[in-house]
Structure 1
Amino acid sequence: MGKSIDLHMHSYYSDDGEFTPEELVRKCSDSGIKVMAIADHNSVRANARGELEAAKAGITYIPAIEIDCTFRGVNLHVLGYGIEYESPDFAEIEDNIAAQGAVASRQMLQATRKMGFQVSEQEMEELAKNNFNKDIWTGEMFAEVLLDKPEYADHPMLRPYRPGGERADNPYVNFYWDYYSQGKCCYVEMEYPDLEQVVDIIHKNKGCAVLAHPGVNLKGHSGLLEPIIETGLFGIEAFSSYHSPEQAAFYYDAARRNGLIFTCGSDYHGKTKPSICLGGYVSLVPDEEILGQLGRLMGR
């Protein structure tokens, strides 16, 4: 039986999302999702449209956002649920990150060229022409351009991301993680708000701050979990497409032990992560138990 709750998906308002809010609602309806949240990167633009369309489809909609932040030098993602999304606080976050992203995109282009790949601004602009943020290019977009170039069909650096390769399950995002994420050769540093500031902004706007997919962001930094919780988080995304059953159990137990809620989400993007489907996360509890947690979330 499929899952009926998915609280982590992205629309085209995210730099790496593919679908409109309305399309996501229709996909959720087709997938049997009864409770959904569109949590775009540093943007709340999808919520009004998603909420309206979900009501028509008989789906419970929870307004959300996913905000980039830092804690002790480590980049994290924090989900904000039940937020008053019309607050200017969220527009300020979006404007700040978008402005930095446009500059960082050109620096990433130079870093990609330093790896030996020939990529032009025109090629990146062509790929981004239908995106909401046309001036922002992501590591996933560089991967899409490079993997589509005939002259690189047999390039050894790209071989793992092609069909049959060990990184071919989600080739675009895997290429991003391998070359453009924090600490990698094409990484461009941006100034994200501190975790404590983000938690305060979310809670100030009647939302609940939830640590997103910690199995990804805390890899190699597991000792940070307890001090992160002490910043005032309301919950942990225990059930994620990125978590193994063992990781899901660990973060589920951590949430319960610390009196936090536990949430679930696929982190569905569309073509950026083709192996991820709506509702396609590892869960160890019935949907009814998760719904009980959402009662606490919505009751704030």
Structure 2
Amino acid sequence: MKQTPSPRCALDVSTNADLHCHSRVSDGTLQPEELARRAKTQGVELWALTDHDEVGGQQRALDTALSLDLPYLTGVEISVSFAGRVVHIVGLGFEHQNPALIEGLRNTRGGREPRAREMAAGLAQVGIKGAFEGALKFVGNPELISRTHFARFLVESGHCSDVSEVFRRYLTEGKPGYVEHRWAKLSDALRWIHEAGGQAVIAHPARYAFTPTEEYALITEFMGHGGRGIEVVTGSHSAAEAIKYTETALEFDLYASRGSDFHSPEESRVDLGRLDGLSGRLKPIWELLRDRIHWPR
């Protein structure tokens, strides 16, 4: 009688992995437990919660995923400064209670409240009062108040029709509510991830609008610090961008990742588990992380 392959052996490039999403612990609207249930319902076969600069929801996500027979990778999305822009690095498969990682993330979060108060002051100058207090209503973790929380307040209060309009009018560089923040160094983020036993991935590379020279510098410096992965298929990429970064992954011999970057049922472009697949020519990042996956018993 032919035996059914173990799920531990069945993961391959066609696996419906979703390794990038956010809960209310950072700037999502659902709790980690709700996200786990949504991922399972949507057919996700390998899941990671990747809150911004915070691992406080990891145990809740892990416990719920395993209770649902959903394999799980620990995750985080770290904000770093590179070439005058904010770049996001996803860490996967690390020990989420690692003290150095937790301390590094805490320091990265440290400047968010002063920045948020400056953003509110800028918005007040164009007639939008009470933005800091309004944004706080949408924050699950006050240490992680962000532009997304301000955007939700501005939509709720009728200043804009949707979150995209808020960013266009108020929260991007040169607009009244934009305030730059100095994030972690790329080298620090990768060191925290690697010393905690994980692997690093460049998140949604098309979003940064780098020149080819700047992008080459990012990728080579990332690899110089031991980075091994790049997001190819994500809710932030068009089909053409997914093709472009398929070729990038092959050119640099990087492992490919995929993730919806899901934040909210009302706001996100792509739901959990609803991404296009990776090209069969690619090496999926979960091959590199097979020994770091938490498997249901």
TM-score by length of 2: 0.83
Write the mapping of 1:1-300 to structure 2, written as runs, cut at 5 A. Answer: 4-14=16-26, 16-119=27-130, 121-125=132-136, 127-128=137-138, 131-134=139-142, 137-149=145-157, 152=159, 158=160, 162=161, 171-173=162-164, 175-176=166-167, 179-182=170-173, 184-217=175-208, 219-231=209-221, 232=223, 233-270=227-264, 273-285=267-279, 292-299=284-291
| AA at the equivalent of 1:44 | V
| AA at the equivalent of 2:184 | P
Partner of 1:230: helix, strand, or coil?
helix
Give how far 1:107 is off. 0.7
Give how far 1:82 is off. 0.8
Partner of 2:121: helix, strand, or coil?
helix
Give how far 1:177 is off. 5.7
| AA at the equivalent of 1:297 | L
| AA at the equivalent of 2:207 | V
Contact 1:36 1:62 in 2 (8 A): yes
How far, CA to CA, are the matches of 1:290 and 1:25 in structure 2? 27
Residues 112 and 282 of structure 1, relative CA distance in 2, 3 Å threshold: farther
Partner of 1:253: helix, strand, or coil?
helix
Contact 1:140 1:175 in 2 (8 A): no
Contact 2:108 2:184 in 1 (8 A): no
Give how far 1:3 is off. 7.4
Contact 1:173 1:273 in 2 (8 A): no
How far, CA to CA, are the matches of 2:165 and 2:72 in structure 1? 30
Residues 9 and 121 of structure 1, relative CA distance in 2, 3 Å threshold: closer
Partner of 2:47: helix, strand, or coil?
strand
Task: Name the count of aligned residue pairs.
Answer: 275
Contact 1:42 1:67 in 2 (8 A): yes
Residues 149 and 187 of structure 1, relative CA distance in 2, 3 Å threshold: closer
Residues 225 and 282 of structure 1, relative CA distance in 2, 3 Å threshold: farther
Contact 1:69 1:193 in 2 (8 A): yes
Residues 122 and 249 of structure 1, relative CA distance in 2, 3 Å threshold: closer
Q: What's the RMSD between the two structures over aligned residues?
A: 2.5
Residues 120 and 224 of structure 1, relative CA distance in 2, 3 Å threshold: closer
TM-score by length of 1: 0.82
Give how far 1:50 is off. 1.2
Instruction: Please identify, of 16-25 and 181-190, the stretch whose mean Cα deviation from structure 2 is larger.
Output: 181-190
Contact 1:139 1:173 in 2 (8 A): no
Name the structure, 1 or 2, with higher relative contact order (CA <8 Å, separation 6+): 2
Partner of 1:67: helix, strand, or coil?
strand
Residue 168 (structure 1) aligns with:
none
Give how far 1:206 is off. 1.4
| AA at the equivalent of 2:153 | V
Residues 106 and 46 of structure 1, relative CA distance in 2, 3 Å threshold: same
